[in-house]
Structure 1
Amino acid sequence: MSQAFSRRMRPALVTGLAALTALVSVERAQAATTSVIVMQEAGVSAESAVRAAGGQVEHRLPTIDAFTATVPAEALAPLRAEPGVRAVVVDTPLRLSEADGADADAGVRMSLVRQAVGAVDTATGAGVGVALIDSGVTAVPGLATSNVVVGPDFSSEARDPDLARRDGFGHGTHLAGVIAGQDAATGFAGLAPGARLVSVKVADHEGATALSSVLAGIDWTVRNAQRPELGIRVLNLAFGADTPGNYRVDPLAAAVEVAWQRGIVVVTSAGNGGPTTTALDSPAFDPYVIAVGADDTLDTPAPADDRIADFSSRGSAQRAPDVIAPGVGIVSLRVPGGVLDEAFPQARIGETSFRGSGTSQAAAVVTGAVARLLQVRPQLKPDEIKAVLKASATPLAGVDPRLQGAGLINLQTAVGAPAVNADQRWPRSLGGFFAGRIGVQFAVENDRPNGGRWRASRWTASRWTASRWTASRWTASRWTASRWTASRWTASRWTTSLWG
């Protein structure tokens, strides 16, 4: 190489190395930031603390006093110690619950599903709004525009004009059909064809989403539920999220409890973990909501030969599915060319239908059933709806309650069942307060309070310092004698060896 050519190349080489170095620096900076959900004390804003730490506030979640943000990774610990911050929870990926779509040869038609759950009256769910937080809906035959409201899109596809608000996965449309579909040409009808379905998209065409997106969908639903054109009284959630072990430190549990306390019946899928599981997915593991396992009807309307679906998650003595509903081979609406449609071509039935299995489908059946029940008994509150469904359910003979809860829902009986012992008094979720803010692990021995007190098997901490436990953060208004007494707090449970 000549010296002249070498001199001409050297500036270009230096420039190229500089550009490469800058690119690497940008990539490292991007990798060093973390997406989080910041939960605040009521009436306190932590947004300035995030900005001061070099972070960026993204989406506000007022119903749970929180917001999403991106922050430098090294700012997480200092941010958790800021006054007014209840918790800083790292955003995590979630997926829609979906089992294999090709379990049954012919599939279970919705007409048989209605018979199996006792939906034999003339109710249609008319006047009841149902929010479906899922992968969106696509305008296919069977979803009339007159009873479908396409709401916001909180997924990663929200800014793509070809994908925004549409269902490229196929899951949301399938569940929408189970809940409120109706096609006069084919005779197809969901459980509540007269209900108003409100689609809130949070998952992309692969069925992937994030905790922050689901929280945003719930927040929007709660804030807009009372709008006359929506009238949302039921919320369907079908996500397979790993649990943190205790619902009381789960932001998703905190969000669904807010919806529940504001009059929205939250119906969730138990999960598709199968016989090896010992816990339900989040948010189904929250005891306030209705957790639904999957029943295999064996293609008959009578429950005598029914069994629990092989994929349906098993619960525990402390938290099992509340009820079960048909969830194997359910025939509903198809999204031609959708990801599920391409992945399971053998599940296609004709031009418009698709066969799907999962606790998602079972939850959609219960969601439609709740809409029908609310049309007939509109005065019922969420606790009362849950009590009525459980009291009127048909238990499967010889099946462990950890698999089926109260049993197969029976609308024919539920319509006239009294709502007795309905009030739920479980400890409320703190949405990450203990785990995120002071590093405490709290295990509930008995979730139901006894005389307003907590029963705990252990109370331990990874750290406990004066800077994290101050009068401004823990006051008599939050911790009173009526909640914690000497009979529940003894030397054997609070010792120097526990705290170091």
Structure 2
Amino acid sequence: MTRAKRLRAVVAGALAVPAALAGTGGTAGAVVSPAGTATSATTLAQVRSSIGADTGTAAGLTGKGVGVALIDTGVAAVPGLPAAQIANGPDLSFESQAANLRYLDTYGHGTHMAGIIVGNDTTSGSKGIAPDVKLTSVKIGTATGAVDVSQMIAAIDWVVQHKGDDPANPIRVLNLSYGSGGSTQTWTDPLLFAVQKAWKAGIVVVAAAGNNGNAAGALTNPALDDSILAVGATATNGTATTADDTLAPFTNLATGTTGQVDLLAPGTSIASLRDPGSNVDNLYPDARVGTTLFKGSGTSQATAVVSAAAALLLQAKPAATPDQAKDWLVKGGTGLTTGTEKTLGLAALNVNGALARTGTAVAAPTVQLSSGIGSLQGARGTASLTLDGVKLTGERTIWGSFSTSQWAKSTTPAWSGGLWLGYRLAGDDWTGTSWAARTRAAGTWTAAPWAGSAAAGWSDPAWSGRTWSGRTWSAGTWSGRTWSSDGWSATAWG
């Protein structure tokens, strides 16, 4: 056994670290609601009614023929996720180097997002908003959500290059329930450059606004990019009508008119698929709804709802461009009539409203695009990992050095088989094995960690004890890890 690695998320830059393991301060952009919030579950049937997906033209749409990429913490083999609808793209998380954890959702977040989009739980009757979508999971987060912005950029690059791998279900939507700690100049930021490349490639990028609260002053990166679709959350207040919907107080809002939320969707106590034995499942048993569902609140959940709605729209209008899809979804929304949401002119998602606008011409938007040549550390911001006490900083990925200028200006695809910028991250083709219908082959990381040597590798004895057996975890705790974060304040599930 190689020496133990203590990989520590000083500030988790994307996917939430549970509140029990977190400090205070920092930025947020991915998961859940203010601690102490306890409300009754909002079912996906209620969500469907709230967004108008169960009436009119929308009622006949299922997302069939549309691919959605989910860059998150992986998806678990729970009964409510039909294997035929799931493909596992490359696992780019630290857990990819442990065969018993590869592709699987040890945290519980990605499974919750997948359930909102494509779930079909026969036990509870809960069904995703777009149940016939083909969902491609690209795992980047570990059991506590630890991830670096460089993993996110590599994942987006992969989705862009492989969007057509399944010709019957090309990837048209990218769900990013993610937010980094960075706030660099938008005109040079490399993460924004990555999402803009996806948008230009014909992919509707849907990103979570963040969970710092209405007074945050800015959305998280990359939702702050005006060229993509930034999503905030509403509280449905237990009804199927938007007449009494209110802006969720945890949703980030920006000052000024740029970098603002584009669209609101239900995001409070959403009941989606439970990942039994995952980290959040163990930490928040009160969030369980029956045996198969779990409550979660945040702009993450709202983002998944909008991603599914975008898939419905693209099923109906397969030739639509991302600019058209965004315009129709935003302008087809239902304006809210009270409070800050009225003042800002924010609208709640209305699928039939979007469909009704599909004959409307859409002018090319005027937005400032990123050159991508800015600092990777700036995109990372305060969201730095540490390994054996050494912080990951500067112009390097978790695998090695990185030149944003060379990457952004290159005319050569970033991925070649399982190599990203020359670093071996995954296998070269779709020959891997997992519970899903299709799986990208795994790869052994050969680059030296930023702390230690290549000989020490990426192994960690804490991972070896976590085994997925059937549909439940055989190990129920994560006490073997030493993690810390101050980037996910006031978060909880329930």
Question: TM-score per shorter chain, which class?
Answer: 0.5 to 0.7
Q: Which residue of 2 aligns with 1:162?
A: 100
Taking the aligned partners of 1:255 and 1:240, their CA distance within structure 2 comes to 14
One of 83, 95, 103 as aligned partner of 2:15: 95
Amino acid at match of 2:281: D
Q: Is 1:192 the equivalent of 2:130?
A: yes
Give the deviation of 1:193 after TM superposition: 0.2
Q: How many residues align?
A: 351
Q: Is 1:375 the equivalent of 2:315?
A: yes
Taking the aligned partners of 1:185 and 1:361, their CA distance within structure 2 comes to 21
Alignment root-mean-square deviation, CA: 2.5
Q: Is 1:119 the equivalent of 2:53?
A: yes
Based on CA coordinates, which of the two structures has the bigger radius of gyration?
1
Taking the aligned partners of 1:219 and 1:414, their CA distance within structure 2 comes to 29
Q: Which residue of 2 aligns with 1:424?
A: 365
Taking the aligned partners of 1:248 and 1:266, their CA distance within structure 2 comes to 18
Taking the aligned partners of 1:103 and 1:414, their CA distance within structure 2 comes to 32
Give the deviation of 1:406 after TM superposition: 3.6
Q: Is 1:242 the equivalent of 2:177?
A: no
Q: Is 1:276 the equivalent of 2:276?
A: no
Q: Deviations over 1:244-289 (max 9, x none)?
A: 2432222110000000000000000000010320000000001111
- Cα 1:216/1:145, change in 2 over 3 Å: same
Give the deviation of 1:319 after TM superposition: 2.0
Q: Is the 8 A contact 2:90 2:138 kept in 1?
A: yes
Taking the aligned partners of 1:413 and 1:133, their CA distance within structure 2 comes to 28
Q: Deviations over 1:425-455 (max 9, x none)?
A: 312111244x689xxxxxxxxxxxxxxxxxx
- Cα 1:126/1:102, change in 2 over 3 Å: farther
Give the deviation of 1:421 after TM superposition: 3.4
Q: Is the 8 A contact 2:174 2:206 kept in 1?
A: yes
Q: Is 1:216 the equivalent of 2:150?
A: no
Give the deviation of 1:103 after TM superposition: 3.4
One of 162, 172, 175 as aligned partner of 1:233: 172
Q: Is the 8 A contact 2:195 2:205 kept in 1?
A: yes
3-state SS of paired residue (1:115):
helix
3-state SS of paired residue (2:173):
strand
One of 201, 207, 230 as aligned partner of 2:145: 207
- Cα 1:152/1:304, change in 2 over 3 Å: same
Q: Which residue of 2 aligns with 1:407?
A: 347
Q: Is the 8 A contact 1:387 1:419 kept in 2?
A: no
Q: Is 1:322 the equivalent of 2:262?
A: yes
Taking the aligned partners of 1:102 and 1:331, their CA distance within structure 2 comes to 17
- Cα 1:305/1:335, change in 2 over 3 Å: same
Q: Is 1:361 the equivalent of 2:301?
A: yes
Q: Is the 8 A contact 1:125 1:371 kept in 2?
A: yes
- Return 5+ residue gaps in structure 2 as ranges: 6-10, 17-29, 378-408, 410-494
Q: Is the 8 A contact 1:315 1:403 kept in 2?
A: no
Q: Is the 8 A contact 1:323 1:404 kept in 2?
A: no
Q: Deviations over 1:121-177 (max 9, x none)?
A: 110000100000000000101100111111110011111011111000000000000
Taking the aligned partners of 2:32 and 2:301, their CA distance within structure 1 comes to 10
Give the deviation of 1:404 after TM superposition: 6.3
Q: How does 1:122-141 map to 2 (within 5 A)?
A: 122-141=60-79
Amino acid at match of 1:429: S
3-state SS of paired residue (1:328):
coil
- Return 5+ residue gaps in structure 1 as ranges: 1-22, 28-90, 438-473, 475-500
- Cα 1:270/1:162, change in 2 over 3 Å: same
3-state SS of paired residue (1:303):
coil
Q: Which residue of 2 aligns with 1:470?
A: none
- Cα 1:401/1:316, change in 2 over 3 Å: farther
Q: Is 1:345 the equivalent of 2:285?
A: yes
More relative contact order, 1 or 2 (CA 8 Å, 6+ apart): 2
Q: Which residue of 1 aligns with 2:470?
A: none
Amino acid at match of 1:98: V
Which protein is richer in helix relative to its size?
1
Q: Is the 8 A contact 1:127 1:375 kept in 2?
A: yes
- Cα 1:151/1:399, change in 2 over 3 Å: same
Give the deviation of 1:102 after TM superposition: 7.0
Taking the aligned partners of 2:240 and 2:247, their CA distance within structure 1 comes to 15
Give the deviation of 1:378 after TM superposition: 0.9
TM-score (norm 2): 0.67
- Cα 1:106/1:244, change in 2 over 3 Å: closer
Taking the aligned partners of 1:227 and 1:206, their CA distance within structure 2 comes to 30
Taking the aligned partners of 2:296 and 2:81, their CA distance within structure 1 comes to 17
Q: Is 1:294 the equivalent of 2:227?
A: no
Q: Is the 8 A contact 1:323 1:405 kept in 2?
A: no
Taking the aligned partners of 1:246 and 1:385, their CA distance within structure 2 comes to 27
Percent identity of equivalent pairs: 40
Bigger mean CA offset, 411-420 vs 152-161:
411-420
Taking the aligned partners of 1:173 and 1:183, their CA distance within structure 2 comes to 12
Q: Deviations over 1:374-403 (max 9, x none)?
A: 111111100000000111111111333598
Q: Which residue of 1 aligns with 2:80?
A: 142
Q: Is the 8 A contact 1:92 1:211 kept in 2?
A: no
Q: Deviations over 1:169-218 (max 9, x none)?
A: 00000000001111234321111001001000011111111111111111
Taking the aligned partners of 1:246 and 1:162, their CA distance within structure 2 comes to 40
Amino acid at match of 1:130: V
Taking the aligned partners of 1:217 and 1:143, their CA distance within structure 2 comes to 22
TM-score (norm 1): 0.67
Amino acid at match of 2:372: G
One of 374, 396, 416 as aligned partner of 2:336: 396
Taking the aligned partners of 1:277 and 1:402, their CA distance within structure 2 comes to 18
Q: Which residue of 2 aligns with 1:80?
A: none
Amino acid at match of 2:361: V
- Cα 1:224/1:243, change in 2 over 3 Å: same
Q: Is the 8 A contact 2:190 2:376 kept in 1?
A: no
Taking the aligned partners of 1:409 and 1:219, their CA distance within structure 2 comes to 28
3-state SS of paired residue (2:136):
strand
3-state SS of paired residue (1:200):
strand
Q: Deviations over 1:92-141 (max 9, x none)?
A: 94434112487343200000000100102110000100000000000101
3-state SS of paired residue (1:236):
strand
Amino acid at match of 2:75: V
